[in-house]
């Protein structure tokens, strides 16, 4: 009787969309960050996305020996044959480097390597050493010819400001190819949504309150088929003498950007673009970001450490 009841319930629910694949999730760790994927797809399909993340990490990591980035950074200026996707990502990084007047610079590696935000006993790098390292930071030193990349003038690559966005886009591509029409991918703050929830309601994406706990949202965005990326001072940082030293660096000085901003959130359609722009706009500040935001047709939310908020374009 109970069985018949359940069967009846199932039949009754079918016309209301319950035939759709139930939600499955996968969580993992890639590119030094937590990855969570929820998709209305079989568990096997969702699990496959974690493998995709690991494969890309093996290309883009600067610490994994033998990755494209590692090979480039250890080539002593010799040309290196890279995966076509690495070459494409570097081309986009250079484009954003140009568009931001060098505020976004993937040759930040000599500077970012001098900061250890997870050290037990963190230290502020010596300013003279930072100045010296900053001389090697210039995206124009990346020479690309097809899939052959040469780093001139002692340049080194750090894709930390753009790779997670790229990978999130590729995971979304894979899910779409598998016929998935409803999913939400979160790679350490790089969120990509496919469609809306199966019931037609939007995904709810919290923008963290920079002055609150990690669970506190300053606002909740209701979105579908979109990409949202936040760069904030709370991701990786340490504090000494009441000053917060965080991981978004001014390529000219090697010091954490100190312009009153606590986070920049970019809302668009391409996660890789939103990722690069979130870092670029953090460095440029609100006024300096306007033309870049217009050019790429994305929205931005600027949150300041004093609690103020601005949206560009204005809402």
Residues that bind Mg ion (CB under 5 A): 161, 231, 275, 278-279
Q: Could you tell me which residues are beta bridge partners of residue 205?
A: 221
Task: Tell me the C-alpha distance between 102 and 96, whole Å.
Answer: 8
Task: Tell me the C-alpha distance between 306 and 308, whole Å.
Answer: 6
Which CB, 106 or 151, lies closer to Mg ion? Answer: 106
Which CB, 49 or 279, lies closer to ligand ADP? Answer: 279
Q: Which stretch binds ligand ADP (CB under 6 A): 81-89, 104-112, 127-135, 176-184?
A: 104-112
Identify the residue among 89, 155, 248, 301 touching ligand ADP (CB under 6 A). Answer: 248
Residues from 129 through 148 that contact ligand ADP (CB under 6 A)? none
Identify the residue among 134, 274, 283, 312 touching ligand ADP (CB under 6 A). Answer: 283
Give me the residue whose beta carbon is nearest to ligand ADP: 160
Which CB, 31 or 46, lies closer to Mg ion? Answer: 31
Contacts of 18 (CB under 8 A, 6+ apart): 10
Contacts of 34 (CB under 8 A, 6+ apart): 27, 28, 186, 188
Task: Tell me the C-alpha distance between 299 and 311, whole Å.
Answer: 7
Instruction: Establish if 170 lies at the interface with ligand ADP (CB under 6 A).
Output: no
Residues from 204 through 243 that contact ligand ADP (CB under 6 A)? 231, 235
Which CB, 45 or 271, lies closer to ligand ADP? Answer: 271
Tokens describing residue 131: 């100045």
- Which stretches of the chain are DSSP H helices? 2-13, 43-60, 68-73, 84-99, 109-112, 127-134, 163-177, 271-296
Q: Which stretch binds ligand ADP (CB under 6 A): 47-55, 65-73, 103-111, 218-226?
A: 103-111
Contacts of 120 (CB under 8 A, 6+ apart): none
In the block, tokens 């894979």 appear at 174
Instruction: Establish if 108 lies at the interface with ligand ADP (CB under 6 A).
Output: yes
Which CB, 67 or 231, lies closer to Mg ion? Answer: 231
**Binding residues vs ligand ADP (CB under 6 A):** 104-106, 108, 112, 158, 160-161, 164, 188-189, 231, 235, 247-249, 251, 275, 278-279, 283
């Amino acid at each position: 009787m109970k069985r018949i009841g359940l069967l009846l319930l199932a039949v009754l629910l079918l016309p209301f969309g319950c035939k759709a694949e139930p939600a499955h999730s996968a969580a993992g760790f890639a590119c030094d960050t937590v990855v969570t994927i929820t998709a209305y797809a079989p568990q096997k399909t969702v699990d496959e996305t974690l493998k995709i993340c690991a494969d890309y990490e093996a290309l883009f990591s600067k610490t994994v020996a033998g990755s494209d980035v590692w090979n480039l950074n250890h080539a002593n200026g010799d040309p290196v044959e890279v995966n076509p996707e690495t070459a494409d990502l570097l081309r986009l990084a250079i484009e954003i480097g140009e568009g931001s007047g060098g505020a976004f610079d993937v040759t930040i590696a000599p500077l970012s390597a001098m900061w250890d935000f997870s050290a037990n006993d963190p230290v502020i790098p010596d300013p003279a050493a930072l100045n010296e390292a900053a001389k090697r930071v210039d995206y124009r030193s990346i020479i690309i010819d097809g899939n052959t990349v040469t780093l001139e003038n002692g340049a080194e690559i750090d894709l930390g400001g753009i790779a997670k966005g790229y990978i999130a886009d590729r995971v979304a591509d894979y899910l779409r190819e598998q016929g998935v029409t409803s999913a939400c991918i979160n790679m350490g703050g790089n969120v990509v949504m496919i469609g809306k929830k199966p019931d037609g309601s939007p995904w709810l994406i919290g923008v963290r309150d920079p002055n609150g706990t990690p669970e506190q949202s300053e606002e909740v965005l209701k979105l579908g088929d979109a990409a949202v990326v936040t760069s904030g001072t709370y991701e990786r940082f340490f504090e000494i003498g009441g000053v917060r030293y965080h991981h978004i660096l001014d390529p000219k000085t090697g010091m954490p950007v100190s312009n009153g901003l606590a986070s920049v959130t970019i809302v668009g359609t391409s996660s890789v673009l939103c990722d690069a722009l979130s870092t670029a706009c953090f460095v440029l500040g609100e006024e300096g970001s306007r033309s870049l935001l217009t050019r790429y047709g994305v929205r931005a939310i600027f949150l300041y450490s004093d609690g103020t908020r601005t949206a560009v374009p204005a809402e």
